[in-house]
Structure formats: structure tokens, C-alpha cells
Amino acid sequence: MTQQEQDTIKAYFWHGATLEHIARQKNVTIERVRQQLAKVERKLSKGKAGKILIEYARIEGMRYHGGFSFFMNHGSIVEYEIVKREEAREKLELYLEMKRQEMERHEKRIGEAEKDIAR
């Protein structure tokens, strides 16, 4: 995943920025931001991060489907959503950190291999 894709995901999912806001910041169209998010969702749907994002999307949808029975069982849907969103955010942060470290190790191995070849 490119740095630009990571920035778009963070802005949209972590900071709750709108597509319009992200587009203005990156000086692109809203459609381009939507395309980037769709591309990243396709990439991530194959792995663990995709499962985390699906959970996040499910949490986002809860605010529209909560009712009295939900309130009786869980309390305020807003508070419940905030807690679940934070849990999903923490999982995604851990996953992205793990992937960043994995890329650093890979780049280090490539650098070492290039040095060995140069000798």
C-alpha cells in the first residue's frame, strides 16, 4: 500500500474526514478519493486488515440500525459505537505498524543483498 493510500485511509477511517475534505487537501476530485478508497478496500479485503475494516464499517452502520432493544442491552448507541470504533482503530494501527516493520526488514535484506553483490 502506498503512503498516499495510507494517508487517505487514516483521514477517512481514523479522523472521520469526508471525501470532499480529503479531496480538497490532496487537490484531487472527490471521485479520485473514492477510487483510492475502493482500490485499498480491494487490496485489504484479502487479509487481516480487511477484516478489521469490515468490522469498522459494521460499527459505522450501527448508528442507523440501533433501536430500543439495542439501547436496553447495550446502553447508548453513540457510546457503544465510540468504544467499538476505538477498538477497531487500535487493531488497524497494530496491523499497519506490523506491516511497516515487515517492509523495513524487507528493505534491509534487499540492501544487504545488494552490498553482497557489489563485493
pLDDT in 10s for each residue of the chain, 119 residues: 678 888 888 888 778 888 899 999 999 999 999 898 888 877 777 776 667 666 666 666 665 555 656 666 666 666 777 777 788 888 888 888 998 999 999 999 998 888 888 87
Residue 92 neighbours by CB under 8 Å, 6+ apart: 13, 14, 49, 52, 53, 56
Residue 81 is predicted with a pLDDT of 72
Whole-angstrom Cα distance, residue 88 to residue 30?
25
Residue 25 is predicted with a pLDDT of 92
Alpha carbon separation from 22 to 6, 11, 40, 89, 112 (Å, rounded): 12, 7, 15, 19, 38
Burial class (CB in 10 A: 0-12, 13-18, 19+), 30: middle
Whole-angstrom Cα distance, residue 22 to residue 111?
35
Whole-angstrom Cα distance, residue 30 to residue 3?
19
pTM above the 0.85 mark?
no
Alpha carbon separation from 107 to 4, 14, 47, 85, 113 (Å, rounded): 19, 28, 21, 33, 10
Residue 29 is predicted with a pLDDT of 93
